[in-house]
Amino acid sequence: MDATDSLLEQALDQLRSLLGTGWTVLPLPNEGQDHASDSAIDAAVRISPPDGASPYTEILVAARQNVVPRDVDTEFRAMRNIMRHSDNRQTLLVVSPWLSPRTRQQLSDHDVAYLDLTGNASLSITYPSVRIHTHGAAKAPGSLLKEADTGRTVGLGGARAARVVRFLADFTPPYQAKNIADATGVSLAWVSRLLGQLEDQLLIRRDGRTITAVKWPELLEARAESYDLLRRNPHVNAVALNGARSVLDDLRDVLHRGEALPRIAVTGTYAARRIAPFAVGGQLLLYVDDEPTAPHRWIDALNLLPDEEAGDVLLLRAHDPVVFERTTTVEDIPYVAPTQVVLDGLSGPGRMPAEARQVLKYLTDNDSRWRRPWSPDRV
């Protein structure tokens, strides 16, 4: 049994389970099938209700080991249009080991049913009446996320992706892969491979080698799906004797004195609130340099009390220096760039994702106020 046959078998078993007792899911012989595109369809399946009296329906199944939004926008949308114009009332169902949120949204937008092996499914049939909509994994299973030892597989997780994503989100095109590689310190080969994937995800658009458009809000959300703020940044909890808000005043005073300390920048709730006020209170998150002693040096400088289990101040050792790029200084206190606020918030705990979405909405509505055209001297 090859990979496609195995995927089909697992997907149809899952469909039977979703339909419930009494429903029949029967693969039909391939011979003589009049499909919209025979080469693209892997199976035709007849679905019959439990009572046996109601008419059955047929669905056409396309099994793919990997589906990206670009596939939906080209192959599956074309197939669906052919079916409509030929008055073909069969349902098109795409099955895969896992479908990303963007891919599922694209499929829904083009009226294509889907099912993946993690439990994400959407299928709507008028007669006999079938309505299925379930949620499975929001993020790719670990086996699909791991980068190959050869380095040929790239993804939106990791420090290199963080640098490229920040560049694409912070600067307006046009620019090319070489410009991104030079500005971020990431190899041109790796940047090129990542851009190819982003193009497949419909997150960037290119004219030849030149990037002409970036869907930066969606890109930030896609990066956040592969990133976990607290897991990727080793951190130390601390308690502020006079409350977290007072730490900002102490931080200003320490910075004024010009002491030789690691870099520091505010992120999280307090950084989000500066851009789009959403809530009061909350934990103060501070990025510091990725040095083992950096958090404790700042704890001493700010007169904080270390706490192994909890605290109203969290000092994070930055997973990459990119978090300190394009910071904004307000009343002498450095805050991470707006796009870093969004990335950290969407991948953070508690109410941080809700705060980040408020920031993202503000940034989207005011794109021209903060996003700058790229030039070689602006990194």
CATH of 3-134, picked from 3.30.70, 3.40.50, 3.40.1350, 1.10.1740, is: 3.40.1350
pLDDT of residue 50: 87
Q: What is the DSSP letter of 324?
A: G
How far apart are the C-alpha atoms of 315 and 297, rounded to whole Å? 11
Q: How do residues 50-76 score in pLDDT, each as one tens digit?
A: 876 678 888 999 999 999 888 888 888
Q: How do residues 214-237 score in pLDDT, each as one tens digit?
A: 999 999 999 998 899 999 999 999
Token match 């505010």: residue? Answer: 266
| Amino acid symbol at 76 | F
Neighbouring CB atoms inside 10 A of 342's CB total 30
Domain covering 148-225 assigned CATH 1.10.10.10 in the classification: yes
The phi-psi region of residue 218 (left if phi > 0; otherwise alpha if psi is between -120 and 50; otherwise beta) is alpha
Read off the pLDDT of each residue in 196-201 and give the average, rounded to a whole number. Answer: 91
Fold of 229-373: Beta Polymerase; domain 2 (3.30.460)
Read off the pLDDT of each residue in 329-338 and give the average, rounded to a whole number. Answer: 96
How far apart are the C-alpha atoms of 312 and 285, rounded to whole Å? 9
- Give the number of C-alpha atoms closer than 13 A to the C-alpha of residue 43, restricted to the C-beta side: 21
Q: Which three-class secondary structure state does DSSP give residue 186?
A: coil
Q: pLDDT at residue 87 above 70?
A: no
Cβ atoms 46, 28 nearer than 8 A: yes
Residue-range domain boundaries for the chain: 3-134, 148-225, 229-373
β-sheet bridge partners, residue 116: 96
What angle (nearest 5°) sits at the alpha carbon of residue 149, between those of residues 144 and 151? 85
Q: Which of 216, 185, 189, 190 is nearest to 202 (CA)?
A: 216
| Amino acid symbol at 23 | W
Highest mean pLDDT among 50-59, 72-81, 168-177: 168-177
pLDDT of residue 85: 59
Least confident among 89-98, 101-110, 143-152, 270-279: 143-152
